Amino acid sequence: MKSTKRKYYAYFVPGEGAAVRQGVTSEWKVCESIVSGVTGARYKSFEDRARAEQWLAGGAMYESRPSIVRRRATLDPGIYFDAGTGRGEGVEVSVTDERGNDLLHRAVPVGALNRFGKHRIDDEAATNNYGELLALRFALEIAMETGIAKIFGDSKLVIDYWSRRKIKRKEVAAETVALADEVAALRARFEEGGGTVTRISGDDNPADLGFHR
């Protein structure tokens, strides 16, 4: 039988003084029950408890990336995309270069970006998968505008299926299907021009918002 690696979930719920609640658990349901629906709550999964505790000790900041030097040295130049829900304020979209520098200002009005340089989707019904799809659309638009030939993301669903028009149209929201068709058309043009869209691990994605389970 294939063994399953244990994961540790670090959580942080803001408050004043003793009202701050934070900790590490190996049970996702425990973490979920603590952060779900709480504005400003943050969480992140780790394969090692010490790293989870280190993240909390560093302020539980998603943008804090101790491994950024390694990424700068090893990642291919290109555009990287991601989406997440961890701030408790809806789905956010992130698009960066290989160094983690935000690129969304090239595709989204500055007024539609938050203080982190990300775009929050103004629709409570939006799903994380919809966010990933929208992020790929922005990445494609930026790539074709700038002449960048490589795009990377960690969503298997979006990269291998939805952006190739492989989508269950009767089971998915009409708005998502329409966006998938739009993205598929953009991707086809991008790839016809020699561009590539490649899937990578979320751990290596500089656009990663840190909101994955």
The per-residue pLDDT string of the chain (213 residues; one tens digit each, 9 = 90 and over) reads 444 568 899 998 887 655 678 899 999 889 888 887 777 788 888 888 898 888 888 888 775 444 444 444 489 999 999 998 766 667 899 999 998 999 999 999 888 888 888 998 888 778 889 999 999 999 999 999 999 999 999 999 999 999 999 999 999 999 999 999 999 999 999 999 999 999 998 888 999 886 544
**What pLDDT is recorded for position 6?**
81
Fill in the DSSP letter of residue 150: E
Sheet of 42-46: strands edge to edge?
21-25, 8-13, 42-46
pLDDT at 70: 45
pLDDT of residue 19: 64
pLDDT of residue 188: 97
Find the helix packing angle between 128-146 and 174-192, rounded to 10°. 30
- pLDDT number for residue 4: 57
To the question of pTM greater than 0.85 for the whole model, the response is no
pLDDT at 200: 92
- Ranges of H-type helices in 103-173: 128-146, 156
- Taking CA atoms, 91 is separated from 33, 75, 206, in Å, by 19, 26, 18
Structure tokens at 104: 């969304």
Tell me what pLDDT residue 150 has.
97
